[in-house]
């Protein structure tokens, strides 16, 4: 079965998963970063205060993910989607309409929770759980929603803000997203709840944070979002250190979104053919090579290499993560394990800006930060090898 046949026979569930991933753009770091200056000005925050607020709401969102994320194992996907979308719209309303900064920050927290957290959780879990064969291809198609958002939204924001306020743009985007969501919620065939809610605390299922293999695998899966978030937030310092410019970075950011497309499509095909374990061992090579090149060479080519290399790896990241979690813990507990991973990802994107900011404040040069990032990726790869061997020996679900 190829991608065309998969789309023809399963277009409803793939449309839901794809739209969830695209809609998650509202809470992703790349999108929020586009409005950092107007948001800070609206709340009368300094850059440091905005960064602190961003880190705090992101960390809180991660804890909330741990509590509510597993509910996708027993709540119907349609009900889960309605709840998340309602909370997302509430967050946008607080973010754009509130005259008080603390309500605006609360809105930012809801947008981060529902966007980067819950909607990506919905899209990934739905695509992985609804397919037993061709699972990699299905997850690859669904995951295209994120790179499409990264490729389309930055230039759209730049063009639209010439004649609309930033608040109006948020509501325009919400209105555009509401049209396909309303159609899918009313017309699409949604699957039933996958299981029953536990009557008491379940001590028999997986408890990822209590398992050494989860902690050994986690740095490998977190290394890409941690380092890429740092490159997103500190783009000005990155381009200055590499003797490049923000205009080159903006073009390279679109290039990153485009590079995710082959990363997702080829990654989905390769996961079905060779499995997630083999792909997990090699998918960070383009990004690591780009980071080494940027550390040694600099210039505009380094910025492009970082974005394109990161895009290729990020296109396959979620597919590999879901495949490994299924191999290690089974499909029936995917919601619980994915919520633990999603929470860890959210934590990482909150901690990274603070850690890199402290390093910069201490006088550390950005090329040295890039070298430290590369060392972290290599160490994470080495730490994960034993767990990858265990996953390779596990029976296919």
Give per-residue pLDDT as tens, 19-44.
999 999 999 877 887 888 888 888 98
Burial of 388 (0-12, 13-18, 19+ CB in 10 A): buried
Give per-residue pLDDT as tens, 39-87.
888 898 886 788 778 888 888 888 888 888 888 888 888 999 999 999 9
Residues 6+ apart with CB under 8 A from 165: none
> Which whole number is the average pLDDT over 97-117?
91
pLDDT value at residue 380: 95
Range of the domain at 221: 3-393
CA distance 11 to 375: 42
φ, ψ for residue 224, nearest 5 deg: -70, -55
Here the CATH number for the domain that contains residue 12 is 1.20.1250.20
pLDDT value at residue 199: 59
- C-beta atoms surrounding 46 within 10 Å: 10
pLDDT value at residue 2: 67
Q: Are 233 and 352 in contact (CB under 8 A)?
A: yes
Q: Measured in Å, how far apart are the chain's first and last C-alpha atoms?
A: 19
CA distance 61 to 149: 22
What sections of 98-245 are H helices per DSSP?
101-112, 120-129, 135-143, 145-160, 166-187, 212-233, 235-241
Name the residue among 279, 325, 26, 234 with its Cα closest to residue 146: 26
Give per-residue pLDDT as tens, 331-340.
777 777 878 8
Give per-residue pLDDT as tens, 279-325.
999 999 999 999 999 999 889 999 999 999 998 898 888 788 888 88
Give per-residue pLDDT as tens, 350-388.
677 778 877 887 888 889 999 999 999 999 999 999 999
pLDDT for residue 205 is more than 70: no
Give per-residue pLDDT as tens, 131-167.
777 777 888 888 888 888 887 888 888 888 888 899 9
Q: Are 221 and 281 in contact (CB under 8 A)?
A: no
Domain count, the chain: 1
Strongest mean pLDDT among 12-16, 227-231, 253-257: 12-16
């Amino acid at each position: 079965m190829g991608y065309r046949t998969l789309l023809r026979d399963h277009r409803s569930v793939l449309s839901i998963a794809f739209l969830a991933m695209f809609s998650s753009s509202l809470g992703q770091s790349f999108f929020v970063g586009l409005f950092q200056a107007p948001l800070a000005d609206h709340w009368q925050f300094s850059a440091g205060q905005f960064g602190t607020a961003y880190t705090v709401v992101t960390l809180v969102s991660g804890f909330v993910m741990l509590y509510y994320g597993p509910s996708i194992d027993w709540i119907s996907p349609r009900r889960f989607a309605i709840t998340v979308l309602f909370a997302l719209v509430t967050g946008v309303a607080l973010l754009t309409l509130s005259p008080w900064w603390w309500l605006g920050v609360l809105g930012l927290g809801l947008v981060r929770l529902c966007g980067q957290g819950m909607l990506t959780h919905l899209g990934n879990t739905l695509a992985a759980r609804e397919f037993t064969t061709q699972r990699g291809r299905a997850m690859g198609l669904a995951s295209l929603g994120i790179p499409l958002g990264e490729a389309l939204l930055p230039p759209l924001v730049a063009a639209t803000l010439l004649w609309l306020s930033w608040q109006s743009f948020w509501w325009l985007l919400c209105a555009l997203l509401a049209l396909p969501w309303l159609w899918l919620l009313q017309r699409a065939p949604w699957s039933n709840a996958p299981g029953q809610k536990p009557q008491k605390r379940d001590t028999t299922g997986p408890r990822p944070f209590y398992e050494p293999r989860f902690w050994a695998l986690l740095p490998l899966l977190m290394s890409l979002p941690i380092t890429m978030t740092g490159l997103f937030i500190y783009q000005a310092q990155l381009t200055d250190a590499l003797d490049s410019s923000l205009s080159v970075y903006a073009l390279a950011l679109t290039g990153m979104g485009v590079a995710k497309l082959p990363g997702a499509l080829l990654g989905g095909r390769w996961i079905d053919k060779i499995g997630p374990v083999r792909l997990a061992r090699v998918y960070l090579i383009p990004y690591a090579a780009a980071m080494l090149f940027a550390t040694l060479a600099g210039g505009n080519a380094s910025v492009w290499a970082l974005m394109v290399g990161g895009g290729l790896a990020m296109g396959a990241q979620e597919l590999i993560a879901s495949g490994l979690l299924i191999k290690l813990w089974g499909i029936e507990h995917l919601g619980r394990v994915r919520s633990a991973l999603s929470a860890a990802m959210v934590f990482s994107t909150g901690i990274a800006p603070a850690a890199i900011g402290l390093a910069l404040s201490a006088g550390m040069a950005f090329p040295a930060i890039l070298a430290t990032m590369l060392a972290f990726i290599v160490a994470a790869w080495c730490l994960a090898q034993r767990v990858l061997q265990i996953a390779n020996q596990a029976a296919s679900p």
